[in-house]
Amino acid sequence: MSEVWDGVYQSDNTFFGEEASSFATLCFNHMKSNDVKSVLEIGAGHGRDTMFLASNGLTVEALDYSSRGIEIINKKAIEKKLPVKSQLFDVKKPFPFQDTHFDATYSHMLLNMRFSRAELHSIFSEISRVLKPNGLNYFSVRNHNDQFYGAGVEVEEGIYDINGSEVRFFSEKEILDLINRESFTMVWMKEEYEEPVTLYLVASIKLEKNQ
Ligand SMILES: C[S@@+](CC[C@H](N)C(=O)[O-])C[C@H]1O[C@@H](n2cnc3c(N)ncnc32)[C@H](O)[C@@H]1O
């Protein structure tokens, strides 16, 4: 499926817009008040949020499995002289970083892609591994209030084909199950409409077992 995203970014290298998402702005403000300096972004796309976070003083590592997306990110980072490193990488595999490396992890609209529940747990376990103690994990996912929820054909348990895009829609309970199982605690959860989708925006913290 990385070819699908390659095609999207090939035909429009600013498909998600040039401006940062409002989720990135929200997270950045929270990161600032929590002394975050280093961020791992997964599913970074063509880097609208990567550039925003890096241009505001954070060191950002970005992963995506679209080679075109990574090419665009590299080009922009060089042009703007920003502290961004990016890698072509499928997040279903163990992340290419040591334990407790990052202050925060961030993903916008990645985890509602075609991942099985087992894959989601393994991604969360990798996120937890590469985060420092008390590290923050920010993510957004499409939810049950999304106008497309209930449309399309179920192609795998909980995943629907909506006009060629494969999407998982999350309930609040599914989010809580996912984060609690990997020892994260919810910091906040909000809902937002980012045309044309409805998302849960989540901040969670990796608490040590005895905290
Ligand atoms: C909906 S887009 C969001 C892009 C970006 N976060 C944004 O909001 O601008 C999802 C991104 O996840 C990437 N992606 C999907 N599955 C992936 C996987 N298994 N490994 C790495 N990246 C993946 C796609 O290539 C795409 O760039």
On whether the CB atoms of residues 109 and 141 are closer than 8 A, the answer is yes
| Assigned token pair, 191 | 């809902």
Q: What is the pLDDT of residue 14?
A: 94
Q: What is the pLDDT of residue 198?
A: 97
pLDDT band per the 50, 70, 90 thresholds, residue 184: very high
User: CATH for 2-143+169-206?
Assistant: 3.40.50.150
Q: What is the pLDDT of residue 1?
A: 72
Tell me the whole-structure pTM to 2 decimals. 0.97
What's the CA-to-centroid distance between 44 and ligand 1, angstroms?
6
pLDDT band per the 50, 70, 90 thresholds, residue 207: confident
The binding-site residues of ligand 1, defined as CB within 6 angstroms of any ligand atom, are 2, 5, 16, 21, 43-45, 48, 63-66, 69, 90-92, 108-110, 113
Over residues 162-189, mean pLDDT: 93
What is the per-residue pLDDT across 74-111, written as a single tens digit (0 to 9) for each?
999 999 999 999 999 999 999 999 999 999 999 999 99
What is the per-residue pLDDT across 50-59, written as a single tens digit (0 to 9) for each?
999 999 999 9
Over residues 190-206, mean pLDDT: 97
Q: What is the pLDDT of residue 164?
A: 87
Question: ω before 196 within 30° of 0 (cis)?
Answer: yes
What's the CA-to-centroid distance between 108 and ligand 1, angstroms?
8
Nearest CA residue ID for atom 14, ligand 1: 43
Has residue 157 got a pLDDT over 90?
Answer: no
What's the CA-to-centroid distance between 46 and ligand 1, angstroms?
9
Ligand 1 pocket test, pick from 11, 52, 65, 88 with the greatest ligand atom count within 8 Å of Cβ, gives: 65
Distance CA 106, CA 92 (A): 16
